[in-house]
Homo-oligomer: A and B are copies of this chain.
Amino acid sequence: MNETTGAGSGSTKPVVTGSQFADGIAHQLQTLLSAGNYDAVKILLDPVQPVDIADAIGFLPRTLQALAFRLLRKDEAIEVYEYLDPPVQQSLLDKLRSSEVLELVEEMSPDDRVHLFDELPAKVVRRLLAQLSASERTVTAQLLGYEQETAGRLMTTEFIDLKEFHSAAQALSIVRRRATETETIYSLYVTDAERHLTGILSLRDLVTAAPEDCIGDVMTRDVVNVRTDTDQEEVARAIQRYDFLAVPVVDREQRLVGIVTVDDVIDVIEQEATRDIYAAGAVQAGDEDDYFQSNLFIVARRRVVWLAVLVVANAFTTQVIAMNDVVLQQVVLLAAFIPLLIGTGGNVGAQSSTVVIRGLSTQRIQALGPMKAVFREAIAGALLGLLMLLFVVPFAWWRGEGPLVGAAVGISLLAITTLAATAGAALPLLFDKMGLDPALMSAPFITTATDVAGVLIYLRTASWLLVHIHGFSA
């Protein structure tokens, strides 16, 4: 990031990224606060973006956080507070006077306030709710009533609504009047007497309209909207797909109750990507945001579930090997290739499932058709197996000290890669059809299917070769 203080001074700050920049500010801030040089603090923070100030306050020792926070201009303090991490928000609530707390919570945007209340103990939330003004209390209670991760929870109730009979000039003066208190003024909504959403227009449409034009004629009646119970991921997809700055949220009676803005949606997209990535890495999805702050026992508890499931999956492989120990007793070097075979199966399966799961998330697989996707992956798996035979078989022949191990490894490698690719593609699609999250559910099943079948094919092939070619009785 390159922060410039503009032409006035002509100076440019060094290129730094956000949180490192905040780290630097935090050090200066701490020095100045400890020295009691509060005017210098104000000068230091004046050109800094609210999110960077929030990060810098987060880096300060707890004892200095309230002090730094009190030095901010009031309007800036609210914005900075909304960017603070939940633990810092909570500790500030304890340190500030109750009149300061009330003013802060009253002035926050409704969606950020609900986000804060989600993190606070129920007792504190009840007390704060009781102290809020009637209008803010109603809005907050309403938002808290929607399910987590829905449009209702994500939306803000601060938007500008116009009427069809307004002239462009009237509308513009409404926008001017309400500009400071609403989250966005760039998307404007038109409602009828019963508050049903009848159209939208952008501020761009409004400023280019003639002053006497009627809003009903300028607006677009084709409105893409979501419902209060629409999943946040679908809300994000809508804004991303249509390149919107905001999307209106309606209730079951098509009444406009709020809007979701693009900045909140970016966070949702990142959160959903983190969830998919964690699922691929066998880390349980949950509060990804605060992983780096959570207790190690909580971390271990969250991960051990998946590990235990995968151990059970692996226990089947153990069973299969133990039940085929006769052939291993004859040719112990066969055991040396088990990790290579099931490792390769796992990797091929992971490639296929990664592509299919991501394709489901980005809705690309729906366009191709699921059957075709599985078929493609099966062929790809067979191709990959054939390519790998070229160097795996000579290695197995040499290291396995003879053609028996080479042949068993080669035959089973081809079977395993084909099977792994097919299972890797088909299982996520199956889980998706069953309404389960493919990113979360597929891994242990793919692993088990590939490992168990792979080891079985390998040891049975070796056993067959041993009996029919070498004449052993196994």
Taking a contact as CB atoms under 8 Å apart, the answer to whether A321 and B336 are in contact is yes
Interface presence of A408 (CB below 8 A): no
Interface presence of A153 (CB below 8 A): no
Write the chain B residue with the least CB distance to A313.
B343
Interface presence of A431 (CB below 8 A): no
Taking a contact as CB atoms under 8 Å apart, the answer to whether B270 and A277 are in contact is no
A245-258: contact bitstring with B at CB < 8 Å (1 yes, 0 no)? 10000100010000
Taking a contact as CB atoms under 8 Å apart, the answer to whether A176 and B318 are in contact is no
Q: Which of B222, B270, B362 meets A362, CB within 8 Å?
A: B270
Taking a contact as CB atoms under 8 Å apart, the answer to whether B299 and A315 are in contact is no
| A 163-213 contacts with B by CB, 8 A | 172, 175-176, 179-180, 185-186, 192, 196-199, 203-204, 207-208
Task: Please choose the segment from A33-41, A124-132, A391-399 that sits at the chain B interface, where 4 or more of its residues have CB less than 8 A away.
Answer: A391-399
Write the chain B residue with the least CB distance to A50.
B242
The 9 listed contacts between A and B (C-beta, < 8 Å) are A2-B224, A12-B254, A276-B277, A292-B364, A297-B383, A314-B344, A318-B339, A332-B335, A339-B451
Taking a contact as CB atoms under 8 Å apart, the answer to whether A343 and B310 are in contact is yes
* B residues in contact with A267, CB < 8 Å: 240
In the bound complex, what is the Cα–Cα distance between A273 and B266 (angstroms)?
12
Taking a contact as CB atoms under 8 Å apart, the answer to whether A391 and B359 are in contact is no
| A 69-102 contacts with B by CB, 8 A | none
In the bound complex, what is the Cα–Cα distance between A278 and B306 (angstroms)?
21
* B residues in contact with A303, CB < 8 Å: 348, 351, 380, 384
Write the chain B residue with the least CB distance to A266.
B240
Known: A240-B270, A313-B343. 16 other contacts (CB 8 A): A17-B237, A17-B363, A179-B208, A185-B204, A240-B267, A262-B266, A269-B273, A281-B350, A282-B350, A291-B359, A306-B347, A307-B344, A308-B391, A314-B339, A314-B340, A322-B399
